[in-house]
Structure 1
Amino acid sequence: MNRVSPGRFAGKVVVVTGAAQGIGHAVASRVAAEGADTILVDRAELVHEAAAALAAGSSAAGTGTAGGTAVGVTADLESYDGASGAIMEALQLRGRIDVLINNVGGTIWAKPFEHYEPDEISREIQRSLFPTLWACRAVLPHMISRRGGVIVNVASVATRGVNRVPYAAAKGGVKAITAALALEAAPHGIRVVATAPGGTEAPPRKVARGPQPDTDREKAWYQQIVDQTIGSSLLKRYGTLDEQAAPIAFLASDEASYITGSVLAVAGGDLG
């Protein structure tokens, strides 16, 4: 882990969704290293292993947790019952939530819009919009009652990208949630912000989001996404997990106390 700020989240309870793998796990690892009592939420049972390894290994790796802890919670956030259950479990575990980082989502299929089946479109929206919508709704009464809190949503610059129209629609909704909810939440002392990641290098997923490209045509469609992503980036490359986790952690921290309603593109210059 690079350039952590020890103690930045000391005394804070931070819930990170989609935390078993990828950007979510990188964020959870970072905020725990910076002192957060971190609750990793994911529908994959892998989240418990990830949380245990984080709790046991961060000090040994030389980062230090500055008093932070890590625990895993399994929940399917695509339903309100799943999201509210996860928030309730987090409250039972730690008594409060200072920061919610909504990271669940990801493209399931990669193909031109005319090739999507109606049920595939619905599944893309269900995967990449509703977990953020439901989790925000579930945590909001608690944060209002405490007169404070931070919600960081993870959108995407793929709102302007090829072969992912349903995913783009879902992530456009995440941007809209951020802007609209920030207006409502500000009088209660709650900040609502977001990042919009671009293409990000990550290890192979232990739990796949969906089917991998199989035919030559499917592989060509996916390559179009890669080519467009790199072409739209001024830096002409994919980002790293650390490069995505760092701005999310910043926006979640008190250092960003005068930022709300904003969506920060983290895509090498591609604004989406």
Structure 2
Amino acid sequence: MSAAHFANRFAAKVLVVTGAAQGIGRSVALRAVQEGGRVLFVDRADFVGDVAAEADSSNAAAFTADLETFDGAAAAMEFAAERFGGIDILINNIGGAIRMRPYADFEPAQIDAEIRRSLMPTLYGCHAVLPHLFAGGGGTIVNVSSNATRGIHRVPYSAAKGGVNALTQALAMELAERNIRVVATAPGGTQAPPRRVPRNAAGDSEQEEAWMADVVQQVKQSSFMKRYGTIEEQAAPILFLASDEASYITGSVLAVAGGDLG
């Protein structure tokens, strides 16, 4: 179904979407505006403002923050609450493997970097948004995890996303009595346009490119459908879980990976 079918699904709702400058987060944030939401696009990339401007709506705003820090997460939530009068929905979309290599070849600093990128923004985001959800009497948190909790050449990333899954389930149990749902999707391999901010700023060696090719083959073979998904196929389940249509779903991690549960 087209976004027009859900034209008012987020009417009167305020959403914060992190990682909104590109990829899945960009699609989610733009669609949420189309569906009636007031949306804060958050990213550390300075072009996030240009992405928010694509919505061509006063209901879209942008905020630049480093969500690998708690101060960055807290500042983004404060800005959203001041701009739009509160927060109803947080979509934590920051993450992504930096390097692909066998675990024995990871250096300690590289392990730390993977955890900082793919676990800490979600931990910090969940914590920073809670005062605002409490003030509003409830709300929804959607975490974007990964089915790569089972996969090759990215063990630290896999561990980080396993942490996101555990966070989702434990926090859902803790917050249900506060009228807050906590859910997640676990995307599989996803086709996307070339990244404006590279996955690995240092660039990949020839060996790392070969390891990446191994990962791509494994991801496709593990999927029943033997293909990558599209950004639209990832955005739709995220928005469903964020909406009131999913009002009786909490603590769940929905695999969106062509049959591969991770």
**Normalised-by-shorter TM-score class:** over 0.9
Deviations 1:144-200 (A, max 9, x none): 232210000000000000000000010000001100000111000000000000000
- CA contact under 8 A between 2:187 and 2:255: conserved in structure 1? yes
How big is the shift at 1:3?
Answer: 4.5
Q: 1:2 touches 1:242 (CA, 8 Å); kept in 2?
A: no
Give the superposed CA RMSD: 1.2
Tell me the matched-pair count: 260
Which residue pairs with 2:81 in the alignment?
Answer: 91
1:106, distance to aligned residue in structure 2 (A): 0.4
Matched, 1:202 2:192: yes
Partner of residue 214, structure 1: 205
**Mapped pair 1:25 → 2:32:** no
User: Does 2:153 align with 1:179?
Assistant: no
* Superimposed CA distance per residue, residues 190-233 of structure 1 (whole angstroms, 9 cap, x where no aligned partner): 00000000000000011112144331x21210011100100000
C-alpha separation between the residues in 2 aligned to 1:88 and 1:3?
29
CA–CA distance in structure 1, aligned partners of residues 81 and 199 of structure 2: 28
Aligned to 1:254: 244
Counterpart position of 2:91: 101
Displacement of 1:241 in angstroms is: 0.4
**Structure 1: runs of 5+ lacking an equivalent:** 57-67
Q: Distance in 2 between the 1:147 and 1:2 partners? A: 31
Give 3-state SS (helix, strand or coil) of 1:55's partner. Answer: coil
Residues 178 and 193 in structure 1, CA contact (< 8 A), matched pair in contact too: yes
Residue aligned with 1:15, SS: strand
Unaligned runs of at least 5 residues, structure 2: none
Q: Give the structure 2 partner of residue 37 of structure 1.
A: 38
Q: Distance in 2 between matches of 1:214 and 1:243?
A: 31
SS of structure 1 residue aligned to 2:55:
helix
Give the stretch that moved more between structures: 1-10 or 94-103.
1-10
Q: Distance in 2 between matches of 1:212 and 1:221?
A: 13
Q: Which residue of 1 aligns with 2:53?
A: 52
1:263, 1:104 → 2: CA distance? 16
- Name the CA distance, whole Å, in 1 between partners of 2:51 and 2:135: 31
Q: Offset at 1:54?
A: 2.0
Structure 2 letter corresponding to 1:148: G
Deviation at 1:141, TM superposition (A): 1.7
1:113 aligned partner: 103
Amino acid of the residue matched to residue 119 of structure 1? A
Distance 2:248 2:137 in 1: 16
State the one-letter code of the partner of 1:22: G
Over the matched positions of the two proteins, sequence identity in percent amounts to 59
Q: TM-score, normalised by structure 2?
A: 0.97
Give the 5 Å matches for 1:216-235: 217-235=207-225
TM-score (norm 1): 0.93
Per mean C-alpha deviation after superposition, the further-off stretch among 163-172 and 206-215 is 206-215
Does 2:71 correspond to 1:71? no
1:9/1:35 contact within 8 Å kept: yes
**Structure-2 residue corresponding to 1:12:** 13
2-structure distance, mates of 1:164, 1:141:
34
- C-alpha separation between the residues in 2 aligned to 1:250 and 1:137? 23
Is it true that 1:271 corresponds to 2:250 in the alignment? no
Letter matched to residue 168 of structure 1: S
Aligned to 1:196, what secondary structure does the other structure show? Answer: strand
What do the CA deviations read for 1:15-35 (whole angstroms, capped 9, x no partner)?
100000000001001111111
- Please identify runs of 4+ aligned residues in structure 1 that moved more than 3 A: 1-4
